Chain A
């Protein structure tokens, strides 16, 4: 194997978090290159101004350094101030580059610009109460050359700013210079501050909705937490792009701040779930924070006391630090691939935050107008989605493996069952065959055998004078017995009328010979399941007994055979017009009599109840079969 192939294989074996670390490192490098210290050809970055904390001339001015944030000047930071900038005398007026322009990366929350005392721009200046924050995006103001001083006096620009309660107001360093170059810079900043934010917003909305839909189907909490977090992030990001929104400022500001609180909460809960850190005080703190947030922020909106928000931000920071420590503590026990991936991405996001702080607050080299946190949050979001996809894929693989295992086990069990079933069937077949053999043997013994023995005895006792008529009759009887046994083996499927008809064939001639008229009233009835081969033989024997009694003891002239369906029970009756119960000679149908006992015994074998009814005249034997 060549060295190249081995190297490639080693690379392919790298875990996902290692690839993510490489990717993040490269991305940060590219980001650093793209956001080096800003330089606009021909333009000057102005970071000093004169400030009037009121409309111009109302108060004495003071020199301030930009960025200047209204901090602690007023309790609610509302009010008005004016920043005066003086155009550097050596500034190229840009006749060849489309004229002069002013670029304010951050100014807010409302402002207007006067060039040498003439208003050249105003944003939300005369709006009145309502939501407006011009500090969200950079503001580009062309400066008409016609307004340049011709008297030799210094040109100056006044930037009047209106503050807003609970919102940071003030002015960042501004750019002055050629219009074309500054417009290009303005578009670049817009892409970072607006377009990129919109992209992140759309991604968050899509991923959040998808996660919630998956959560609704799978009920896996991770998806629910991610979905919740991304949807509140969507709200927050959406509120970070437009300068103007209809409606009350207090309401939108409340939603904006609350969405941040809940986003932090959801992210922590997601992490704790991912790190299997579902118990503990930090988690409870987060839940309390998410529950308390709406109330706290409502009080803040009501009192317009920014100190309350500072305190609340402190709470969020403390909880996040505690959460971070908890995760680090948890990490001591080792982490899986997903957890390591999240740590890598989490570190990257922290680096973006740290960079923004160092560049914006401490003035380290870098483009102060561009924040890394926006693409950082996008990476975090995709990493969370990636982790979920991996978890789902692993879960699905596990399910597939379990299904395969289950299918294999089911197959094995099925084979075992088949084999057991085959053995049972064999045993059952043998048992049935044995039972059938015994039954046939018994029938042969009781019927044909005894008949042949009687015939043999008759022949032996007759000596030389053989009564051939008697022997013929006995042999005929034996043959009929044998036929009856064979009849019972025919497939009659519990069809009572056919069974009775078959019996009629055998006993009909005997009844006719005895002068008994047969009244056949057999009708279709449902099949009787107990009348299989053995059951048929039992019924034959029952009825043989009944007809024998009719002929021998009842002295009947007529016998009626009837079948009917009695509320789901198949019934059969054999009624004669003979002497009736209690009058017959012998033991026929007497309680305890042998005939009655035989009939009851055989009827029980086929699940039938027997009634002997005095029909006056005659007797009725009624068999009622158990319902199917």
Chain B
């Protein structure tokens, strides 16, 4: 069921990014194609203009980076994210958003997104974002960090429950991750956080990416628990 792990993208000389775009705006498709011209060895494997098309085609494609717009004409991008997260766990799922509203982003992260890119960024910004995520990092904003802290605090409050206890390390924040989130929430950037915590900026990025993964796991645990409570499982 799970896809074969893909080779790393970006800086790796042995492989390149294989992109798939789920977006109904043709100008964005055009923009992505322009951006790819900066990295000739990257490929755009396909494009879906609707959720239905994405359901049909996205999983068949051997992409390792998916760019997903949240506002699709026939549904929400979060559904595509959930689908991809389940069937393509090794792929990077980047959300395309105009304003980066954190309260909506957190829903996308719970659905399985591993990062986000602001629409309206330059081509080089897009390439940098893909490379950052491929290098194990992840974008984050202070408000998003704050929301994540709140989200995980609610998980920790529910920890005594057996399901949560079994998956504690998968859904709980580590002490270091908590420190990172707190500093991000105070507006510190990765470099400053690395300096304060005595770690490398790349490690900070890794921590953030881990947080996103845990958030998605937490979200799935919640779904499973709700199903168990309703006697569906």
Contact = CB atoms under 8 A, between A and B. Distances in A.
Chain A contact surface mostly: helix
B143 A498 contact: yes
Nearest to A508: B189
B185 interface: yes
Nearest to B142: A501
A495 B146 contact: yes
B186 interface: yes
Contact of B187 (A476, A483, A487, A501): A501
Given A476-B120, A522-B188, 17 more contacts: A483-B100, A486-B101, A490-B101, A490-B143, A491-B103, A498-B142, A498-B143, A498-B146, A498-B185, A500-B186, A501-B141, A501-B142, A501-B187, A502-B187, A504-B187, A505-B141, A523-B186
Contacts of B184: 501
B120 A492 contact: no
B126 to A, nearest CB: 15
Interface of B: 99-103, 120, 141-143, 145-146, 184-189, 192
A408 B103 CA distance: 46
Contacts of B101: 486, 490
Contacts of A476: 120
Contacts of B142: 497-498, 500-502, 504-505
A483 B103 CA distance: 14
Nearest to B101: A486
Contacts of A505: 141-142
A486 B118 CA distance: 14
Contacts of B99: 482-483, 486
Interface in A114-138: none
Contacts of B100: 483
A490 B102 contact: yes
A539 to B, nearest CB: 13
Contacts of A520: 187-189, 192
Given A490-B103, A498-B146, A505-B141, A522 B120 contact: no
Chain A, interface size category, equals: 20 to 34
A523 B185 CA distance: 10
16 contacts: A479-B120, A483-B100, A492-B143, A495-B185, A498-B143, A498-B145, A498-B185, A500-B186, A501-B141, A501-B142, A501-B185, A501-B186, A501-B187, A501-B188, A520-B188, A523-B186
The 7 residue pairs across chains A and B that have the minimum distance between CB atoms: A501-B187, A501-B142, A497-B186, A504-B187, A498-B142, A498-B146, A486-B99
Nearest to A497: B186
Most A-side CB within 10 Å, residue of B100, B101, B103, B146: B146
B186 A524 contact: yes
A522 B186 contact: yes
A492 B186 contact: no
Nearest to B99: A486
Contacts of A498: 142-143, 145-146, 185-187
A518 to B, nearest CB: 9
Contacts of A487: 143
A497 B120 contact: no
With a 10 A CB-CB cut-off, give which of A490, A495, A497, A498 has the most chain B CB atoms.
A498
A500 B185 CA distance: 9
A516 to B, nearest CB: 15
A500 B142 CA distance: 9
Contacts of B120: 476, 479
A492 B146 contact: yes
B74 to A, nearest CB: 25
A469 B41 CA distance: 28
Nearest to B187: A501
